[in-house]
C-alpha cells in the first residue's frame, strides 16, 4: 500500500477517471449534524484564505482508501473507494451546489467546476460521472450532478445534503457579511486535506476496510457483513445485488437490516450470539463451512425471503390474516421487540405449511399471555432476551409447533404465572406502578374489549388515560369511608396505599381531569355517561371502597384468565419468592437518611403489613430490615435480629441514627424521612419519566393547538386555580416569567390527565434533550406541588455530580416550610406550591433557579 497526504483537487481533477463506491458500501448516510460540522470547517478555511495567511494549516478531513477496480483499464483508470465514500460524496455535492449557485451569473465558472471535479467530459452513461456512488444512491447522485432533478423522493440523503449546501450558499450571500463563493470552492478543493491510501492489486482491501478507524460514521455490523458478502461474490455480485439485496435494502432501514441479520443467526440455532457480534459470528459460520458463492447467494436469498416476515412485525398492517394481524398489532403496541425470534419462527413455519393462520394466532396468544401475565404479576423483564432468543434452538420437535412453544414457555424458570397467581396479583399487586404506561393501558383496553359491547370504542382515535376510581390523593370523605373498613389497627391511609394502584381500582376514561378527586357520587354521574362498559359497571355500584375494589378485581381476573391462556400444568412452576426478592432489592436501595414502614413496604409489594413483618423477622440477611418501622416511626415490638450482632451494635435506634435517620422529641423517626410506597417504586423505576400516564412525549410548550382549543398552558393554570389560591397562581406565573428571563422555557404535559409544567433548559423537544430542575403539578383537590426531580438530574450533566444536587437541596431547604431530607436526593420530593406565595420564599426560589441555570451554563464552558 501507498499512503500520502493529498487535497480534493489533486485527487479528483486531471485526466478522465472514475472513483467507484462498491456494492457492499452502505448508502449515503451523513446527517445535518455532520454537514454542519463540515460547513463550519469550510468557512473557517475560507476566512483563512481571505486573510491571506498562507501559512495556516489546512483542515484534516480524514482518509480515503482506494484499490484498483476489476474494471480498470489503461485508458480510463477506475478505483474502488474502499473507505471515504461519505466524504467524497459530500464534497462532490457541495461543488455541484456551488456550480448551480453560480450557473446564471457565471456560466463559464460553473462549467469549469463541472469538468474539473464532477464529470468526465468525453464519456457517456455511467462513465460520465467522476464519482460513481453505490447502486442505491446512483440515480439520485446522477440527477444532482448532471440533471434533471426529478423524482428525488422524501428522505433522500443525497437530496438533503445538496439542499443543505444550496441553503448555506444563499446564506453566504448575506449582504451584511458576504462570503465569496469561489473562495468557498477553493477552501473545499485546496484546504481540506485527505490521506489517500492506495492499495496494490494483490492487497486484501477487505481487511483494510474492516480495520479502519476513521472520523466519519462508525461502520455498523450490517455494513461489515454486507462488505464481506459482496467481496466474496466475485462473479454474481451484480445479479445478487439487483435481484435480492437492493429490494431488501429498500424495504428495511440499516438498523432494521442489522436486526434481521441477527435474527437469521438466531433462527439458525445460534442462541448465544449478541447483536454486536453479528459480523464475526456470521463470518465464522461461512468460513467454517467453506462457503463459496453459491452458499453466499443462498444466504442473501434467505434474508430477502425472511424480510417479508420481519416487516410484518414492524408493520402489522401488512399481515393479511385478521386474527394474526390483531395479535401482531398488540405485540407491536406492547413494544415487544424481545419476542422477535419466536415471532419470526412462527411466521416462517406458517410459510412452510407447518401451521395455518388460526394456529399461528393461537401461538401468538401464548406469547402475548406470557408477557401480560408476567407484567401483571411483576416478574422482572431482565431475562426475556435469553428466553426468546433460545426459542428457535430449544423448541420441542416431538409436538406441533404451537403446542411446542406453549410447552417451552411453560417450562421451569420461564416464570409464566398460572391462573392462581394471576388472580392473586390482580387483587393485591399495585398494577399502576409496574410496566410501561402503554402496557398498562393495553391491558385495560383488552379487558374492556372482552365485554364485547355492541358499539365498541375506537381505541385508535380515543384519547383515553388511566383513572384511579378511588383517587391517589383522597379527601376527608374518602378517608372516612375507608376508616369504616379498616381492621386490625390498620389506618385508613395505609388501606388507601395498599389498594389505590391495584387493577380493581383502575379504569380508562377521557375525562380524567374532570373526575379528579371528586367524591364517588360525583364520579358516578360522569362514569355513567361513558361509552366504556367497565365504567358503566363501576357507576352501577352504590359505593366505592375496598370491598368493591376486590369484587371488581375478581371480575377482571375471570376475564384476564379467559383472555390470556395459562401455561401448561406440571411442566415446571416458577418460584413463589419473587415478591420477597423485590422487597430485598428495594430495602437494599434505601438511601442514607431514610426509613419506611411495614405498611409502605406491604403496599409496594401488594402484600399485608403482618406478612411483611413475619418475613423480615424470620429471614436472615435482609439488608436494612431494621429500617422498616411502624407507621408512626417506631421500632416494632415484634422486631428481633435474625442473626447475632456485634456487642454494642444491637441497639436499633443507634443503628438508625448511624444511617442518618433523625428522631423527633417524642422518640419517633422523622416523618419527613419516610419513604412511601410510591417512593419505593420510584427507587427501582429508573429515570424514564413515566410520572404522568399517557402524556404526549414531546413535552413541547410551543406545540400548536387546533383553533379554539385550550392550550396546554391555559389548561395548566385552569387546573391550578381550581384548588389553589389566587396568590399561589400569580406566584407561579411570576416564577415562569423569571425562568423564561433566565433563558429557559416552559414545557407542558398533554392530554386529558392533570397537566404538568416543566421548567426546561436546553433544546426543545423533550426532557431527554435538556435538563429541568422541577415539574409543577396542579393539586386536583389537594393543592399544587413542585416535584424536584433529583432522580432525573442524576443522569444529566453537570448534576451527575452529587455535590451539585446537594447544593440545590440546601438552597431549597432555605425556603420557609421546606425540609427535604438528604436521603431524597435519589428521588423526586415535592414542595407545596402554596409556599411560593410567600414573598420571601418566592425570592429565594428565584435565586435558586438562577443558581441552577448558571451551573448548567457553566458546564458548557468547562
Task: Kindly report, residue by residue over 4-15, the tens digit of the pLDDT.
Answer: 889 999 998 878
Whether the predicted pLDDT of 705 surpasses 60: no
Please give the residue that has the higher pLDDT: either 25 or 821: 821
Look at residue 213 in the predicted model and tell me its pLDDT. 42
8 A C-beta contact, residue 402 and residue 410: no
8 A C-beta contact, residue 816 and residue 838: yes
Region 829-856: what's the mean pLDDT?
94
CA atoms within 13 A on the CB side of 547: 9
Categorize the per-residue pLDDT at 696 as very low, low, confident or very high, splitting at 50, 70 and 90: very low
Look at residue 30 in the predicted model and tell me its pLDDT. 85
Categorize the per-residue pLDDT at 326 as very low, low, confident or very high, splitting at 50, 70 and 90: very high
CA–centroid distance for 831 within its chain: 29
Categorize the per-residue pLDDT at 156 as very low, low, confident or very high, splitting at 50, 70 and 90: low
Q: Which residue shows C-alpha cell 362514569?
A: 527
Look at residue 766 in the predicted model and tell me its pLDDT. 47
C-alpha 376/C-alpha 433 separation (Å) is 10
C-alpha 294/C-alpha 653 separation (Å) is 76
Look at residue 416 in the predicted model and tell me its pLDDT. 92
Extract the C-alpha cell encoding 287. Answer: 468460513
Whether the predicted pLDDT of 692 surpasses 90: no
Look at residue 345 in the predicted model and tell me its pLDDT. 96
SS3 106: coil
Region 821-849: what's the mean pLDDT?
91
SS3 860: helix
Look at residue 511 in the predicted model and tell me its pLDDT. 61
Task: Kindly report, residue by residue over 797-812, the tens digit of the pLDDT.
Answer: 888 777 888 899 999 9
- In the chain, the largest separation of any two C-alpha atoms, in whole Å, equals 98
Whether the predicted pLDDT of 1 surpasses 70: no
Region 718-745: what's the mean pLDDT?
92
C-alpha 33/C-alpha 27 separation (Å) is 17
Q: What is the edge-to-edge ordering of all strands in the sheet holding 628-629?
A: 628-629, 595-597, 674-675
Extract the C-alpha cell encoding 538. Answer: 363501576
2: left (phi over 0), alpha (psi -120 to 50) or beta: beta
Find the DSSP H helices in 686-725. Answer: 712-723
Region 366-386: what's the mean pLDDT?
90
Categorize the per-residue pLDDT at 472 as very low, low, confident or very high, splitting at 50, 70 and 90: confident
Look at residue 574 in the predicted model and tell me its pLDDT. 41
Around Cβ 288, how many Cβ atoms within 10 Å? Answer: 8
3-state secondary structure 349-364: HHHCCCCCHHHHHHHH
Region 412-438: what's the mean pLDDT?
90
8 A C-beta contact, residue 462 and residue 510: yes
8 A C-beta contact, residue 671 and residue 633: yes
SS3 163: helix
Extract the C-alpha cell encoding 625. Answer: 430490615
Whether the predicted pLDDT of 698 surpasses 70: no
Whether the predicted pLDDT of 367 surpasses 70: yes
Q: How far is CA 401 from CA 228, 356, 634, in A?
A: 35, 11, 58
8 A C-beta contact, residue 427 and residue 560: no
Look at residue 571 in the predicted model and tell me its pLDDT. 56
Whether the predicted pLDDT of 753 surpasses 60: no
Asked: is 578-685 a CATH 1.10.10.10 domain? The reply is yes
Look at residue 759 in the predicted model and tell me its pLDDT. 92
E-assigned strands of 119-266? Answer: 131-132, 192-198
8 A C-beta contact, residue 441 and residue 694: yes
Extract the C-alpha cell encoding 705. Answer: 393547538
Task: Kindly report, residue by residue over 45-88, the tens digit of the pLDDT.
Answer: 888 888 776 656 788 888 898 888 887 777 889 898 988 899 99
Task: Kindly report, residue by residue over 474-493, the tens digit of the pLDDT.
Answer: 888 888 999 998 887 788 98
Task: Kindly report, residue by residue over 508-559, the tens digit of the pLDDT.
Answer: 887 655 556 677 888 888 788 888 899 999 999 999 999 999 999 999 999 9
Task: Kindly report, residue by residue over 554-588, the tens digit of the pLDDT.
Answer: 999 999 999 999 999 865 444 445 678 788 878 87
Around Cβ 634, how many Cβ atoms within 10 Å? Answer: 17
CA atoms within 13 A on the CB side of 418: 13
C-alpha 786/C-alpha 405 separation (Å) is 49
Backbone angles phi, psi at 65, to 5 degrees: -110, 125
Around Cβ 413, how many Cβ atoms within 10 Å? Answer: 10
SS3 102: helix
Task: Kindly report, residue by residue over 538-548, the tens digit of the pLDDT.
Answer: 999 999 999 99
Query: How much of the chain, in percent, has pLDDT values that exceed 70?
Result: 88
Look at residue 463 in the predicted model and tell me its pLDDT. 74
Look at residue 135 in the predicted model and tell me its pLDDT. 81
Look at residue 366 in the predicted model and tell me its pLDDT. 97
Look at residue 338 in the predicted model and tell me its pLDDT. 94
Q: What is the edge-to-edge ordering of all strands in the sheet holding 18-20?
A: 2-7, 192-198, 59-68, 78-83, 18-20, 131-132
CA–centroid distance for 80 within its chain: 39
CA end-to-end distance (rounded Å), the chain: 42
8 A C-beta contact, residue 301 and residue 248: no
8 A C-beta contact, residue 297 and residue 242: no
Query: How much of the chain, in percent, has pLDDT values that exceed 90?
Result: 40
| Highest mean pLDDT (candidates 59-73, 414-428, 565-579, 686-700) | 414-428
DSSP letter assigned to residue 189: H
Around Cβ 188, how many Cβ atoms within 10 Å? Answer: 26
Positive/negative CA dihedral, 496, 498, 499, 503 = positive
C-alpha 624/C-alpha 587 separation (Å) is 6
Whether the predicted pLDDT of 741 surpasses 50: yes
C-alpha 543/C-alpha 545 separation (Å) is 7
Backbone angles phi, psi at 405, to 5 degrees: -65, -40
8 A C-beta contact, residue 10 and residue 198: no
Q: How far is CA 637 from CA 526, 629, 670, in A?
A: 47, 10, 19
Region 147-170: what's the mean pLDDT?
71
Lowest mean pLDDT among 24-28, 258-262, 303-307: 24-28
Lowest mean pLDDT among 280-284, 415-419, 645-649, 714-718: 645-649
pTM of the predicted structure, to 2 decimals: 0.72
SS3 509: strand
Around Cβ 298, how many Cβ atoms within 10 Å? Answer: 11
Inter-helix orientation angle 476-483/492-499, to 10°: 100
8 A C-beta contact, residue 513 and residue 471: no
For 24, counting Cβ atoms within 10 Å of its Cβ (0-12 exposed, 13-18 middle, 19+ buried), the class is: buried
8 A C-beta contact, residue 826 and residue 788: no
Whether the predicted pLDDT of 676 surpasses 80: yes
**Mean residue pLDDT across the chain:** 84
Backbone angles phi, psi at 764, to 5 degrees: -70, 155
503: left (phi over 0), alpha (psi -120 to 50) or beta: alpha
8 A C-beta contact, residue 427 and residue 554: yes
Backbone angles phi, psi at 836, to 5 degrees: -70, -20
Region 500-507: what's the mean pLDDT?
94
Whether the predicted pLDDT of 281 surpasses 60: yes
Q: Which residue shows C-alpha cell 444491637?
A: 650
Find the DSSP H helices in 516-577. Answer: 520-528, 533-539, 546-563
Q: Peptide bond before 148: cis, by omega within 30 degrees of 0? A: yes
Extract the C-alpha cell encoding 453. Answer: 359491547
Long-range contacts at 607-615 (CB < 8 A, ≥ 24 apart): 607/428, 607/579, 608/498, 609/490, 609/494, 610/488, 612/583, 613/638, 615/580, 615/583
Q: Which residue shows C-alpha cell 444511617?
A: 659
Amino acid at each position: 500500500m501507498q499512503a500520502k497526504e493529498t487535497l480534493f483537487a489533486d485527487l479528483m481533477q486531471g485526466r478522465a477517471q472514475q472513483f467507484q463506491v462498491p456494492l457492499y458500501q452502505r448508502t449515503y448516510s451523513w446527517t445535518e449534524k455532520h454537514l454542519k460540522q463540515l460547513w463550519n470547517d469550510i468557512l473557517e478555511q475560507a476566512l483563512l484564505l481571505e486573510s491571506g495567511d498562507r501559512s495556516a494549516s489546512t483542515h484534516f478531513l480524514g482518509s480515503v482508501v482506494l484499490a484498483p477496480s476489476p474494471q480498470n483499464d489503461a485508458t480510463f483508470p477506475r478505483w474502488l473507494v474502499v473507505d471515504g465514500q461519505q466524504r467524497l460524496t459530500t464534497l462532490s455535492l457541495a461543488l455541484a451546489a456551488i456550480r448551480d449557485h453560480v450557473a446564471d451569473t457565471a456560466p463559464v465558472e460553473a462549467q469549469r467546476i463541472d469538468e474539473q471535479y464532477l464529470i468526465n467530459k468525453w464519456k457517456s452513461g455511467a462513465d460520465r460521472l467522476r464519482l460513481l456512488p453505490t447502486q442505491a444512491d446512483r440515480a439520485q447522485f446522477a440527477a444532482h450532478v448532471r440533471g434533471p432533478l426529478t423524482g428525488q423522493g422524501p428522505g433522500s440523503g443525497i437530496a438533503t445534503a445538496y439542499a443543505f449546501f444550496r441553503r448555506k450558499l444563499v446564506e453566504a450571500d448575506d449582504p451584511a457579511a458576504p462570503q465569496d463563493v469561489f473562495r468557498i470552492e477553493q477552501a473545499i478543493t485546496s484546504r481540506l486535506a485527505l490521506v489517500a491510501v492506495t492499495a496494490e492489486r494483490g492487497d486484501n482491501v477487505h481487511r483494510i476496510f474492516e480495520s479502519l478507524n476513521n472520523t466519519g460514521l462508525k461502520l455498523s455490523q450490517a455494513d461489515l457483513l454486507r462488505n464481506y458478502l459482496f467481496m466474496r461474490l466475485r462473479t454474481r455480485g451484480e445479479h445478487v445485488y439487483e435481484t435480492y439485496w437492493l429490494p431488501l435494502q429498500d424495504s428495511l432501514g440499516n438498523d432494521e437490516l442489522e436486526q434481521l441479520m441477527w435474527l437469521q443467526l438466531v433462527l439458525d440455532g445460534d442462541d448465544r450470539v449478541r447483536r454486536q457480534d453479528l459480523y464475526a459470528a456470521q463470518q465464522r459460520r461461512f468460513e467454517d463451512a467453506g462457503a463459496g458463492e453459491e452458499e453466499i447467494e443462498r444466504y442473501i436469498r434467505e434474508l430477502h425471503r425472511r424480510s417479508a416476515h420481519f416487516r410484518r412485525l414492524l408493520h402489522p398492517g401488512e399481515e393479511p390474516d385478521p386474527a394474526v394481524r390483531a395479535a401482531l398489532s398488540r405485540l407491536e403496541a406492547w413494544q415487544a421487540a424481545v419476542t422477535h425470534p419466536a415471532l419470526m419462527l412462527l411466521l416462517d413455519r406458517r410459510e412452510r405449511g407447518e401451521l395455518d393462520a388460526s394456529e399461528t394466532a393461537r401461538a401468538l396468544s401464548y406469547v402475548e399471555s406470557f408477557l401480560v401475565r408476567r407484567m401483571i404479576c411483576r416478574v422482572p423483564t431482565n431475562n426475556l432476551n435469553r428466553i426468546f432468543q433460545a426459542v428457535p434452538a430449544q423448541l420441542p420437535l416431538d409436538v406441533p409447533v404451537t403446542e411446542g412453544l406453549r410447552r417451552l414457555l411453560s417450562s421451569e424458570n420461564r416464570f409464566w404465572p398460572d391462573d392462581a397467581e394471576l388472580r392473586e396479583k390482580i387483587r393485591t399487586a399495585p398494577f399502576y406502578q409496574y410496566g410501561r404506561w402503554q402496557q398498562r393501558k393495553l391491558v385495560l383496553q383488552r379487558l374492556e374489549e372482552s365485554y364485547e359491547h355492541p358499539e365498541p370504542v375506537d381505541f385508535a382515535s380515543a384519547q383515553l388515560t388511566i383513572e384511579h376510581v378511588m383517587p391517589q390523593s383522597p379527601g376527608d370523605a374518602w378517608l372516612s369511608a375507608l376508616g369504616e373498613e379498616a381492621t386490625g389497627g390498620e389506618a385508613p391511609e395505609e388501606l388507601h396505599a395498599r389498594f389505590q394502584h391495584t387493577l380493581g381500582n383502575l379504569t380508562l376514561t377521557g375525562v380524567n381531569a374532570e373526575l379528579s378527586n371528586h367524591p364517588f357520587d360525583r364520579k358516578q354521574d360522569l362514569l355513567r355517561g361513558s361509552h366504556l362498559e367497565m365504567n358503566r359497571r363501576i357507576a352501577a355500584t352504590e359505593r366505592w371502597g375496598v370491598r368493591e375494589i376486590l369484587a371488581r378485581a375478581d371480575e377482571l381476573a375471570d376475564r384476564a384468565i379467559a383472555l390470556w391462556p395459562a401455561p401448561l400444568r406440571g411442566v415446571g412452576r416458577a418460584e413463589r419468592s419473587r415478591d420477597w426478592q423485590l422487597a430485598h432489592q428495594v430495602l437494599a436501595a434505601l438511601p442514607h437518611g431514610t426509613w419506611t414502614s411495614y405498611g409502605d413496604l406491604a403496599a409496594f409489594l401488594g402484600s399485608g403489613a403482618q406478612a411483611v413483618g413475619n418475613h423480615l423477622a424470620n429471614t436472615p440477611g435482609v439488608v436494612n430490615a431494621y429500617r422498616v418501622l411502624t407507621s408512626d416511626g417506631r421500632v416494632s415490638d415484634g422486631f428481633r435480629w435474625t442473626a447475632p450482632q456485634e456487642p454494642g451494635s444491637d441497639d436499633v435506634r443507634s443503628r438508625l441514627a448511624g444511617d442518618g435517620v433523625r428522631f423527633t422529641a417524642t422518640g419517633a423517626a422523622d416523618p419527613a424521612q419516610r419513604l412511601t410506597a410510591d417512593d419505593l417504586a420510584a427507587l427501582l423505576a429508573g429515570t424514564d419519566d413515566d410520572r404522568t400516564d399517557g402524556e404526549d412525549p414531546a413535552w413541547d410548550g410551543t406545540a400548536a393547538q387546533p383553533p379554539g382549543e385550550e392550550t396546554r398552558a391555559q389548561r395548566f393554570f385552569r387546573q391550578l386555580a381550581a384548588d389553589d389560591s389566587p396568590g399561589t397562581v400569580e406566584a407561579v406565573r411570576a416564577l415562569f416569567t423569571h425562568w423564561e428571563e433566565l433563558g429557559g422555557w416552559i414545557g407542558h404535559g398533554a392530554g386529558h390527565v392533570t397537566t404538568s409544567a416543566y421548567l426546561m433548559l436546553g433544546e426543545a423537544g423533550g426532557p431527554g434533550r435538556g435538563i429541568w430542575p422541577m415539574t409543577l403539578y396542579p393539586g386536583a383537590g389537594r393543592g399544587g406541588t413542585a416535584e424536584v426531580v433529583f432522580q432525573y438530574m442524576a443522569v444529566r450533566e453537570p448534576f451527575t455530580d452529587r455535590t451539585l444536587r446537594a447544593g440545590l437541596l440546601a438552597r431549597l431547604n432555605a425556603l420557609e416550610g421546606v425540609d427535604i431530607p438528604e436521603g431524597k436526593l435519589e428521588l423526586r420530593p415535592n414542595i407545596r406550591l402554596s409556599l411560593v406565595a410567600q414573598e420571601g420564599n418566592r425570592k429565594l426560589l428565584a435565586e435558586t433557579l438562577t443558581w441552577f441555570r448558571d451551573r448548567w451554563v457553566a458546564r458548557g464552558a468547562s
